[in-house]
Amino acid sequence: MKVLVASKSFGKADPAAAAYLEERGIKVVWTDVPNPGPEDLARQVPGFDALIVGNDTVDRRVVDAADCLRIIHMHGTGLDAIDVGAATEKGILVANAPGANRNAVAEMTLCLMLSLGRRLDKHLDLLRKGRWERSAGNEVSDSTVGIIGLGYIGRRVAELLEGFGVRLLGYDPYPDSTWATDCGLELMKEQDQIFAEADWVVLCAPLTEATEGMINRRTLSLMKRTAYLVNTARGGLVDEAALCEALQEKRIAGAALDAFAEEPLPPDSPLRGVDILLTPHIAATSVETAAKVSWIVSRNVAAALLEGSTAGAVNAGQIARNRIATQTIGGIT
C-alpha cells in the first residue's frame, strides 16, 4: 500500500507521524513537484491507496485518474479545495482533522485584533525606516466583539477573550445555547445584528454556499465606522472588491485578513494597495498544531487502509447509502 503526500506540513514538525505509516507497511511518497496543481496530482495519483493534501486542489480530474484510491485526507480542516461530491460518487473517503488547529487559529485571531487595533504593522515599518512616530490606537478591552461561526475555533476565540472584559456576541446557524450561556456570549438570531453592533467582527465560519461573500457592500454598510473586520477563516467569505471600497472610503476603521479568495495573493491584488493588515494564511501554522494534525492524519489513514475505518471521514455516511441503493437496485433488476 502507498500514500501520496502533497501537504508540505505532513510530518514536518514530527517526522514520527510519517514513520508511523511506514512501520505499518504503508509506503510514503511525496509529490515530485512542490505546490502540485490538479494536473500534477492526476498524473501521480494512479497506483496510490491514499492521498494527503494541504490546500491543494483535488478536483474531478484527480478523482477520475485515481485507480485504487481509498481515502483523501486533508492535513487540516477546510475541504473547499476538494471535490467531495466526485470522491463520494467513486466511493473514496474524504477526511479532515476538525478542531486540531483551534488553539493556533484562535490565538492568531486575537493577535490580529490586538495588532490591528494598535496598528503594530505600521509602527514597526516606521521604525525600520528610521522614523519615530506614534499614533493612538484602539483597545480590545471593554469593546463589543461579534463572532460569526461558533465551531471549534469560534468558541476558542470567545474563551480567550474572557479576560478582556468584552461584550461577546455570536451567530451560528446551529448554536450551542448551553455553551453560550456558560461563556457569557449573547447569541444573535440574525448575523446582521453582529455587523450592526460589534466593534470587532470576527469571521470563524466555514466556506459554504450560504457563507460565500457574506462580507459584501450590504453587510459592510451595516458596520460602524469605528469597527474592525478580522478574517482567519476562508478568503471566499469576503468580497474583496467591496472591502477595498469600504476601506478607501473609510466606512470602517480597518481590517485584517489571513485568508484570500486567491492564494498566493497576486502581486497586483487591490488588497495590496489599501490600508489593511495582511498575513499569508498562517493562522493554523504552528509547530504544535502541525504535529497534532500529522498524527491525526497518520492514524486515520492507517486505520482506513488496514482496518476499513472511516474515522474522520465527512462522506462515509453518503458512501454507505450509495452502496445500499446500488445493491437494492441490483437486487430488483
Query: Active site includes 139?
Result: no
Query: Active site includes 234?
Result: yes
Cα–Cα distance measured from residue 74 to residue 294, given in angstroms and rounded to the nearest whole number: 10
Catalytic residue chosen out of the listed positions 217, 263, 288, 323: 263
Q: Are strands 50-53 and 2-5 parallel, antiparallel or unpaired?
A: parallel
> Which 3 state secondary structure label does DSSP give 82?
strand
Q: Which of 202, 196, 185 is nearest to 117 (CA)?
A: 202
Cα–Cα distance measured from residue 186 to residue 169, given in angstroms and rounded to the nearest whole number: 5
Catalytic residue chosen out of the listed positions 75, 119, 155, 281: 281
Query: Active site includes 75?
Result: no
Cell of 7: 501537504
Give yes or no for a contact between 82 and 58, defined as CB atoms under 8 angstroms apart.
yes
Q: What amino acid positions are annotated as catalytic residues?
A: 234, 263, 281
